[in-house]
Structure 1
Amino acid sequence: MKASFLDLSIGQIGYVVPDAEAAVKAYYEKFGIGDWKFYTYGAPLLSFMNYHGKPTRFKARLALSYFGKTRIELIQNLEGKTIYTDFIEKHGYGVQHLGIYVADIQKELTAARKAGFSVVMEGGGFGLDGDGHFAYLDTEEVYGITYELIQRPLRRHEPEAVFP
């Protein structure tokens, strides 16, 4: 069975970093990547969070920018056991996922499950209207990288900070 979500293009590269602010400064100074928008993902911004199919709580500091047309996401895990802490324990810091933007995440999750993948971690409700949903799939063993499905919200909250 062909998984439809793999027909879509990669829109995001996600890196797990020890310090989001320091990483942003380095990317800006060395590569000229910026402006960076900072968000803290966790309660209350996320209305639901699941890890291995069970409700959980976590908190991560995210910094978002673009390198050309590709979104760069720098992720600093702040609290909780997550796919990010799993990655750090196994690999250290670095490229953790490739993000695929989807219009209908439920449809794509159904396709992913039919292809034999499960959701490792997901969260949602980060848009102004309670929309927005992300789901990390257990693709690392098969493809050497984790794929994240992302249904972007129609409207985003204002960032907590912007650099520079």
Structure 2
Amino acid sequence: MDNGVLGTQVVTQIGIIVKDVEKTARSYADFFGIPEPESFWTDTADLAQTEYEGQPTPARAKLAFFDMGQLQIELIQPDEGPSTWREFLDKQGEGVHHIAFGIKGMKEKIALLGNKGMPLIQKGEFTGGRYAYMNTLDELKVLVELLEND
């Protein structure tokens, strides 16, 4: 079976931009009848090394994660720094921001998608790995996030 451009067909995460991560996390927890996850801020710029549209940015986001079997729901409350999260909230309001895939070979996948007209928007590091948001809006109507764990 062909695993497509990324080498996988498994969506591992749906990312949702929200104005208030705690309030939204409470709503999800109540809806699913599960405990509310702890929310936390992403790493500071010196650790995260976040770049947005090719430029370093101090942007951070407050996150909460729901592990729902094979799929994870990520709630993202952006700060005011320039980022794809802030741009989404300012232009579109709350809603689905991305679908994510666990991949291997981040640099190669970024180049591959870039060559297909799906350029890198934002990338950064997190404890245990890295992420990259690719502009797949024209083709897929949602951003794709690449997640690579060490």
Q: TM-score, normalised by structure 2?
A: 0.87
Following TM superposition, the consecutive aligned residue runs of length 4 or more in structure 1 with deviations greater than 6 angstroms are: none
Q: TM-score, normalised by structure 1?
A: 0.81
Q: Give 1:136's match in structure 2, choosing from 129, 133, 136.
A: 133
**Residue 34 of structure 1: how far off its partner (Å):** 4.2
Structure 2: stretches of 5+ with no match in the other structure? none
Structure 1: stretches of 5+ with no match in the other structure? 154-164
C-alpha separation between the residues in 1 aligned to 2:17 and 2:8? 25
> Alignment partner of 2:117: what SS?
coil
**Structure 1 vs Structure 2: percent identity of aligned residues?**
28
C-alpha separation between the residues in 2 aligned to 1:103 and 1:8? 13
Residue 50 to residue 40, structure 1, CA distance change in 2 (3 Å): same
C-alpha separation between the residues in 1 aligned to 2:20 and 2:103? 29
The residue type paired with residue 136 of structure 2 is T
> Alignment partner of 1:80: what SS?
coil
The residue type paired with residue 116 of structure 1 is G
C-alpha separation between the residues in 2 aligned to 1:151 and 1:20? 24
Tell me if the contact between 1:63 and 1:75 (Cα under 8 Å) persists in the aligned partners: yes
State the Cα deviation string for residues 49-87 of structure 1 (Å, max 9, x = none): 100011111010010121232011000012302111211
- Tell me the residue number matched to 2:65: 64
Tell me if the contact between 1:9 and 1:100 (Cα under 8 Å) persists in the aligned partners: yes
Correspondence list, 1:24-63, <5 A: 24-34=25-35, 36-43=37-44, 46-63=47-64
Residue 134 to residue 34, structure 1, CA distance change in 2 (3 Å): farther
After superposition, the CA RMSD in angstroms is 2.1
